[in-house]
Chains A and B, each alone.
Chain A
Amino acid sequence: MFHWELLKKTALLGTERHPLAPEALPASIQGILSKSNKNDAEGYFLKAAAVLYNYNRAGQNPAKITLPNLALEDAENSTYCPPKTVGLWKKVLDLSPANPYLLELLLQNCHQKQWVLTDDLLVNALNNTPKQLLPQLHLLLGVRGKWLTQFNKSWQITDASRSITQWEEGKIAERKAYLSELRLQNPAEALSLLAQAWPSESAKDRKSLLSTLKIGLSANDEPFLEEIHNELTKNLTSPKPVTLETIHLINELRLSIQGSRFGKEVAEQMTKCITKKKSLLSAIGFSSANYQLQLPESETSFWNGDEMNQRFGFDKLSSQKGVSDSEYWLQSLLRWLHPSHLITFFEGNLSRLVEFFVNTQSKNATAYLYAFSEAMAFASADEIKAFLKVTAQLEVQKTGLLQQLPWPDQEELLLHHFQLSFALVKAITTEGPPQNWSSQFSKKALFSLVKELDGSNYYYVFSDRNFLNQLGRKLHVNSKDLLYSLQNELSQEWQRNYWNTHVADILFKQLEIKEEIEQITAL
């Protein structure tokens, strides 16, 4: 403020303790104050403050200082988005709540056209683009947009490339992230790094880092896994839980490797439990009904005398009611053992293999098949497809397996083999990368969706905005014509209203936008 220092003492301490001394004030102010009654200490001080306040405001010329010139000198050489696309951008950025999946599609299509954003879109786009899409947005920023990002850290792309220092000095989460990324790019190098570090790692970190080997697991990893397994199981007397968990993980990894020594060993033990009775029908290959599972009598006989708990890291006691210990081991092993062993045992006949599991007597009838379906994730795409066809009507791990197939194969299975439940539609909508569904599949998915309104949890289903956003990205644009007519599938008035307001309206708007985004490439 206005000559504050001259007034400060009196202002803070009060006129009673420290009356104002006018001598320090500018002469012109003293002149004005000379007409005032100095004995009225409060009035005199307030007048001085009031006059100085305006004296300062009127006489304060803006300072001249040298400040950096921020102006952008480079001109834009790229083509700007055309006006129609600018309007589309505004629509996408205006969506509330935002739909990052449609935004991603818009970014991709604009980039394909080599367009850059107009000046009026820049701030809105930078403010409303999620961090994970920023690298794609930066491709569309043009000269001005890139210049603009220097002023706001949250608009800048953080260098995602990891450095070795993260591995050497980082916390366990950072080290694990580094190793996972390296494993994706160069599995051998990641394995070598882990092998070097292994002796000096804590038991907890070992377990954590070891799990990164699930990425790109191959026969090349087996020697290391064998080595650390031997090391950990040697002289094992009273191991800590974390050590047992690490042994468990090592065995899981060893079993999952196709053709691994340990896998073969376990498969041999397992197949000993499957006996084949000779009968007329099975002899001519019509049925597998005569394949029977004979549960091992004791753990020592199954594990060749080893202590299962310590040697294999598997809990020998079943935690499931009604499931015997031996059933439990077998089901656990089936979950991890590479499926090629059993497929080979059943001479490549998946139907026969599945039939065997279905016919196997167990408290939990589907437990064997379900466990095996989890291991099918290690199989080839053709084997997965064949397995899913055979098990289309059975309870198996479908979503995870489906996602290992290219989308056309997934659609074929979903359209022609599976009964499309709402749960399945939701799973394929929210899991896996963005896909463009065919109009036929979109229609089938929407029918299963509308039926869900008869259920009791419809509110939770349809208030999941992420689910609706992903549907808006994946459904075929033609299905917007179907949206409102689907209300006829509903019997109650409130259901129809709910459908129209909470589903159809939202999806219609998103599909309209999607249609416009798709048209960009035709421009």
Chain B
Amino acid sequence: MNFLTEDQVSQLAPDASSLKAGKDLANERKWLNYQSNERVLWGEVQGSGKDPYRTQIDLQNTAFKCSCPSRKFPCKHGLGLLFLVARRNGDIPQLTTEPSWVSEWINKRSEKVEAKIQPPVSEEQDSEKTDKQAKDKEKRQNERLLKVEAGIAELDLWLRDMVRGGLLTLPEKGNAYFEKMAARMVDAQATGFASLVKEFTKIDYYKGDSWQPQALEIAAKIHLQIEAFRNLDQLPPLVQEEVKSRVGWNMQQKELLENKETETIDDEWVVIGRRTTQEEDIVLQRNWLYGSNSKRFALVLNFAYKTAAIETPLVPGNTSKARLVFYPSHSPFRALIKHHLESKTFLPTSLEGVENWQLSQVEYTRVIAQNPWADDVPQLVEQLQITKHQAHWYLQDTTGAVMRLHDAFEEAIIWKLLAFTAGHPTTLFLLRQSTSVWPLGIVQNFSYQLL
């Protein structure tokens, strides 16, 4: 049976309270029954209601269904059942034939997946209607373009004012000064610029002088993006797409999936890491993937409003057999899952990365040459040894070159890295930045240990 480890189940929990409640439910006594086969895991648990809740988990695509009224996803019952199986090392009663309430759901899901793999031939659409839709779309695009251009002109003026007067006055301005401009960018439908402007509010202006170069770096990034947008026509088509996406001009998912020219890759994708952040009311889940055959990296983003559920078949640490479609870009990372076939707990093949930091730098330079706005560049680097100098932690390669761990990298994960490697050289998936790195997990033979 394809069961997840406790660490992996923990990664699926939508919040700390669900995680705790899920662990509490990993108790056989609480389940009236629980069984599984190769494709589905199910069980009945007595809740506060009269009838027991029916919990079902699609093991191949990591999807959940539960009859409980919780709006969390997965709910505590789904997590509890997975924890229970993890604690029993997958040793639970097996039943080839599912009860009807399970087979109904899982068969429907299988049908959906198959239907996605072989999409029906689209019917011929009414040409008059299509023309009208295309005209409406063009009109909307032009209107938005005008709005964005006006917004960018305002931002450019604001930025020039800032550098004319000097950055020394920034600490006095307060967050409202930046938030106001960010809000103007949202109004102008240039959300990418809004996010960049908001970065000014994340600087600690009262911690020495380190804020000064940080502020100039943000100003430089904004200027670069403004210039790129103004010279859009002169850029190669894929760079144009990247710039538009950075401004906030995202291609609709439907449009991307239907576009036959977009790059599509079938592979066994190792989910090398997940980071979830919250910006105001929006939760952003970043899933970094690595294609074990294509050697390509991908970034699958999922969004949710506040505590709304994020449903994804991706399980950190697992390998997903899936078809990804990439957003058009000169250095494409961002992708969508077009079809997800199954999820496995082991690596399908041994993985090889770059041998040292110098080669890592070559790869990093290649990426930023194509996309100067790229922040986190995923890499697989071999033979890295953790070490410490003064108060900072470093990863050293076999040539003696070092890269510093990101300042925000949690100490608890450094302990984990030390415990697993005992300070010996190891192969790591990591996110590379210009002067620091953020390790995601350890590759050991055919297994992947998330950090």
Going nearest first, the 5 A-B pairs with the smallest beta carbon separation are A14-B166, A1-B213, A71-B423, A46-B223, A42-B160
Closest to B358 in A: A61
The 23 listed contacts between A and B (C-beta, < 8 Å) are: A1-B216, A2-B217, A4-B213, A11-B167, A12-B168, A12-B212, A14-B164, A14-B166, A15-B163, A18-B166, A49-B223, A53-B217, A54-B372, A58-B368, A62-B358, A62-B401, A62-B403, A65-B402, A67-B387, A94-B23, A148-B415, A152-B415, A512-B29
Q: Is A63 an interface residue (CB 8 A)?
A: yes
- Asked if residues B165 and A16 are in contact (CB atoms below 8 Å), the reply is yes
Q: Is A87 an interface residue (CB 8 A)?
A: yes
**With A and B bound together, what is the CA distance between A69 and B398 in angstroms?**
12
From residue A16, how far is it (CB to closest CB) to chain B in Å?
A: 5
- Asked if residues B6 and A90 are in contact (CB atoms below 8 Å), the reply is yes
**With A and B bound together, what is the CA distance between A301 and B220 in angstroms?**
98
- Tell me which of A46, A54, A69 contacts B385 (CB under 8 A): A69
- Asked if residues B402 and A42 are in contact (CB atoms below 8 Å), the reply is no
- Max chain B C-beta neighbours (<10 A), residue from A8, A11, A17, A43: A11
- Asked if residues B167 and A12 are in contact (CB atoms below 8 Å), the reply is yes
Residues in A neighbouring B116, C-beta threshold 8 A: none
- Asked if residues A45 and B434 are in contact (CB atoms below 8 Å), the reply is no
- Asked if residues B418 and A148 are in contact (CB atoms below 8 Å), the reply is yes
For the residues of A in contact with B, the DSSP-based class is helix
Interface residues of chain B, those whose CB is within 8 Å of chain A, are 6, 20, 23-24, 27, 29, 87, 89, 159-160, 163-168, 212-214, 216-217, 219-221, 223-224, 227, 357-358, 360-361, 364-365, 368-369, 372, 385-389, 394, 396-397, 399-403, 412, 414-416, 418-420, 422-424, 434-435
Assuming A59-B365, A65-B400, what are 17 further A-B pairs, CB within 8 angstroms?
A7-B216, A11-B163, A13-B166, A13-B168, A16-B165, A42-B164, A46-B163, A50-B221, A53-B217, A64-B400, A71-B422, A71-B424, A120-B419, A122-B419, A126-B415, A148-B415, A512-B29
Residues in B neighbouring A4, C-beta threshold 8 A: 212-213, 216
- Tell me which of A54, A119, A144, A508 contacts B368 (CB under 8 A): A54
**With A and B bound together, what is the CA distance between A385 and B145 in angstroms?**
93
From residue B28, how far is it (CB to closest CB) to chain A in Å?
A: 9
Residues in B neighbouring A50, C-beta threshold 8 A: 220-221, 223-224, 227
- Asked if residues B212 and A11 are in contact (CB atoms below 8 Å), the reply is yes
**With A and B bound together, what is the CA distance between A63 and B435 in angstroms?**
10
**With A and B bound together, what is the CA distance between A86 and B419 in angstroms?**
16
Known: A50-B224, A58-B365. A90 touches B87 (CB 8 A): yes
- Max chain B C-beta neighbours (<10 A), residue from A15, A42, A46: A46
Residues in A neighbouring B414, C-beta threshold 8 A: 151
Known: A46-B223, A49-B219, A60-B435. A123 touches B416 (CB 8 A): yes
**With A and B bound together, what is the CA distance between A47 and B226 in angstroms?**
11
Q: Is A68 an interface residue (CB 8 A)?
A: yes
Known: A67-B387, A70-B387. A43 touches B160 (CB 8 A): yes
From residue B262, how far is it (CB to closest CB) to chain A in Å?
A: 27
- Asked if residues B212 and A8 are in contact (CB atoms below 8 Å), the reply is yes
- Asked if residues B422 and A147 are in contact (CB atoms below 8 Å), the reply is yes
- Asked if residues A70 and B165 are in contact (CB atoms below 8 Å), the reply is no
Known: A15-B164, A46-B219, A66-B400. A119 touches B419 (CB 8 A): yes
